[in-house]
Amino acid sequence: MAREACAQHLSAADALVHVPVTLVSGRVYVDAAVNGRGPYRFAVDTGASGVGRVDASLVTALGLPVGRGATSSDALTTSTVDTTQLNTLTLGGLTRRNVEVITRDYRSRVSKEAAFDGILARDFFADGVLVIDYRRRELWFGRSWHVATDDAQALPYERAFRVPVTIDGRSFEAQLDTGADVELVVPKALWPQLTDAPLASAGQASLTNGKVGTERGVLHGPVRVGALTLSDVNARVIEGFPEVVLGSAALRNARIMIDPRSRALAVCP
């Protein structure tokens, strides 16, 4: 019988990181340290590549050096951005050293309540299992846990973190993005294939490199990802967007476990 990924016991003795999280519109925030100083408020964003990001205000406050030449993509556009070098970036007992991260003015793009000093991106957690328990509002990280591709409830992936979802019995690939404060993003071209439900204007949404017009609609579902089943899912519909995105707001009753070493994850109700 295959081991159940969702049944693993999480012990504080095995954890490098076990910290509380704050949720704002589903987005996950933790307290982290930069160059031994802090705490600073960091968002945990599995949709962001690399180790992390820092806001321009933190670069100024810490007197960090600024370079240029990195690129940043938000699925619709790509831009050239500034970078800075961090001696250390620390969360709990996990420290990454001598890391280059993107820096820009993130605070002006979000509400005061949702503002952050930086982002912990997916490579920050690359050599162990990242666990986010939304209901208990906890984040764990450890290297003794595993999500194997043949575990019951495991979702193997090739591109981080694109996993299969079913919407009303039809299969699609979706990116699991804890940095997206929505339940679901759907390309407009795909919407008529999913439902005949009407769409309403939802105004402008902020992406990494700018704003885009959106519409909203409801998918009655069921929408299934891993062991989680959702109904009456609020979707943002975007013209020209290249893929389905399962955002953090859809995971509010779930625990996710991501193991980049085996390229598998689990979504546990």
**What would the DSSP string read from start to end of 70-108?**
EEEE-SS-EEEEEEEEEEEEEETTEEEEEEEEEEE--GG
CA gyration radius, the chain: 18
pLDDT digits (tens, 9 = 90+) for 11-66: 989 999 999 999 998 899 999 999 999 999 999 999 999 999 999 999 999 999 99
Domain spans of the chain? Answer: 11-142, 154-268
| Statement: residue 74 has pLDDT above 60 | no
Class of domain 154-268: mainly beta
Which pLDDT score is estimated for 231? 94
- Nearest partner of 228 among 165, 134, 174, judged by Cα: 165
Report the pLDDT averaged over residues 152-181: 94
Report the pLDDT averaged over residues 131-157: 95
Fold equal for 11-142 and 154-268: yes
| Statement: residue 144 has pLDDT above 90 | yes
Class of domain 11-142: mainly beta
> How far is the C-alpha of 166 from the C-alpha of 204, rounded, in Å?
28
Report the pLDDT averaged over residues 120-134: 97
Banded model confidence at residue 80, pLDDT cuts 50, 70, 90: confident
> How far is the C-alpha of 182 from the C-alpha of 14, rounded, in Å?
32
Report the pLDDT averaged over residues 158-165: 95
Q: What is the mean pLDDT of the chain?
A: 92
> How far is the C-alpha of 102 from the C-alpha of 189, rounded, in Å?
32
Single pTM value for the model: 0.92
Banded model confidence at residue 269, pLDDT cuts 50, 70, 90: confident
pLDDT digits (tens, 9 = 90+) for 191-224: 999 999 999 998 877 666 567 789 999 999 899 9
Which pLDDT score is estimated for 207? 61
Report the pLDDT averaged over residues 114-125: 96
